[in-house]
A and B are shown apart, each in its own frame.
Chain A
Amino acid sequence: GQNIDQPTEMTATEGAIVQINCTYQTSGFNGLFWYQQHAGEAPTFLSYNVLDGLEEKGRFSSFLSRSKGYSYLLLKELQMKDSASYLCASMDSNYQLIWGAGTKLIIKP
């Protein structure tokens, strides 16, 4: 079956670094997406990985290992506005996104 696993909730301190992990099992693979979603708002696109390795985009980086079915989102220099849910999604062989339930990140001062 198809499945995405990510932690339900994480807590981190302002200014610190946090890594949010995601493991996936999908029929076929056409890329791994990360989205940010503030409570009650729309998901907004953060990153896309299709090849193994690290993609860096400012304070946010995303890593992919296709052989392990594993990705992580790394957030550096955490700010209070980073408090949100982070959604991991894998694109399957039919180019449909399979979504994880999201990781709620709580930032403490």
Chain B
Amino acid sequence: DADVTQTPRNRITKTGKRIMLECSQTKGHDRMYWYRQDPGLGLRLIYYSFDVKDINKGEISDGYSVSRQAQAKFSLSLESAIPNQTALYFCATSDLGDSTDTQYFGPGTRLTVL
């Protein structure tokens, strides 16, 4: 079984709809991240959380919100989706006890906003 899972894997929605992307992990990691990936650009950090009570904005948080429901779950919401939020979204985790803080990625959610 995968250590980091994301649901849904693909989603097509319309402008103005509210969307939630979910991420779960069985790695026991404290830290979780949401990124988006667009063609020709590097991964960009949306939000990150170092533990259940800790939420931090990343580089491109406008238009997004997150919830850390438990150590193992971190969800990303688009309150009112717009077409330029069409992208590949990745969740990642890392271990507080790992001196390198290496991040491990889920399989991604491909979101299309029409």
Contact = CB atoms under 8 A, between A and B. Distances in A.
A13 to B, nearest CB: 26
Contacts of B48: 96
Size class of the B contact interface (CB-based, 8 Å): 20 to 34
Interface residues of A, number: 23
B32 to A, nearest CB: 14
B107 A87 contact: no
Contacts of B84: none
B5 to A, nearest CB: 11
Interface of A: 4, 30-31, 33, 40-45, 48, 50, 87, 89, 91, 95-102
A95 B101 contact: yes
Interface string B74-111: 00000000000000101000000000111111111010
Given A44-B105, A45-B103, A48-B102, 8 more contacts: A33-B102, A40-B88, A41-B107, A42-B105, A48-B100, A97-B43, A97-B103, A100-B42
